[in-house]
Amino acid sequence: MSLESRVLTGYIPKHIAIIMDGNGRWAKKRNLPRTFGHKKGSENLKNITSVCNEIGIKALSVYAFSTENWKRPKEEIDYLMDLPSEFEETFKGKFKEEDIRVIFSGRRDRFPVKVQELINRVEEKTKDRQGLILNICFDYGSYTEILEGVKAISESYKKGEIKLEDINEDLMNSHLYTKELPKLDLLIRTSGEERISNFLLWQLAYSELFFAKKHWPAFNRKELFKALDNFQKRNRRFGGLKGDKK
């Protein structure tokens, strides 16, 4: 049985996340500018999103720009700010055909106005689509996400809208950027790095982790199926004993 056939007969995760690492290193190995690596990475995101939609994954969260990435060189930041506009044609074209919905997670107040407008426009135009949800984490940091949720809950408590006993896991989940998405099953990080880097810390509590050696622009369909095959071989115990039912 081929790798793809084996994976497709097993459990397909509902929600996977990818730290798309290695664009710059992929470009450097080829004596190309880092921005070219980001361009190839952007093209690869479109391809991997389509594959995930094809095989029945419900949500794909990707780490496109972190709250710490503002420290990068201005030229690189300026290029990254233009990536959402490069995607807009895909959102209207291929993704429309595939019924893919797009949402953005993270802060929005630090973006240029044109980027904020584009984000709002894309979310509005794709909101009724029924295929995979592509969650683009842009100016995202998990510390910020959790702190914003805690502040909102605290404000509700202060106003008397909720009681102390109302504060639980479900309430916290409802204040996260991912509140509309299924629970996270699998996190993949490319380029061989084995860190979480402030990404989906709350959501990762019982997720499986897979660290791929390939840089993101080289992480293709076959590499995705390798990660899914590895995931399907895990015994997910969720705090119980080996052999317990989920």
Catalytic residues: 21, 69
Question: From edge to edge, which strands make up the β-sheet containing 101-105?
Answer: 101-105, 133-140, 59-66, 15-19, 186-189, 208-211
In terms of Cβ atoms closer than 10 Å to its own Cβ (0-12, 13-18, 19+), residue 204 is middle
Instruction: Say if residues 231 and 12 touch (Cβ distance below 8 Å).
Output: no
DSSP structure string for the chain: --HHHHHHTSPPPSEEEEE---HHHHHHHTT--HHHHHHHHHHHHHHHHHHHHHHT--EEEEEEEETTGGGS-HHHHHHHHHHHHHHHHHHHTHHHHTT-EEEEES--TTS-HHHHHHHHHHHHHHTT--S-EEEEEEEE-HHHHHHHHHHHHHHHHHTTSS-GGG-SHHHHHTTSTTTTSPPP-EEEE-TT-----SSSTTTTTT-EEEE-SS-GGG--HHHHHHHHHHHHTS---TTS-TT---
* Other CB atoms within 10 Å distance of the CB of residue 109: 6
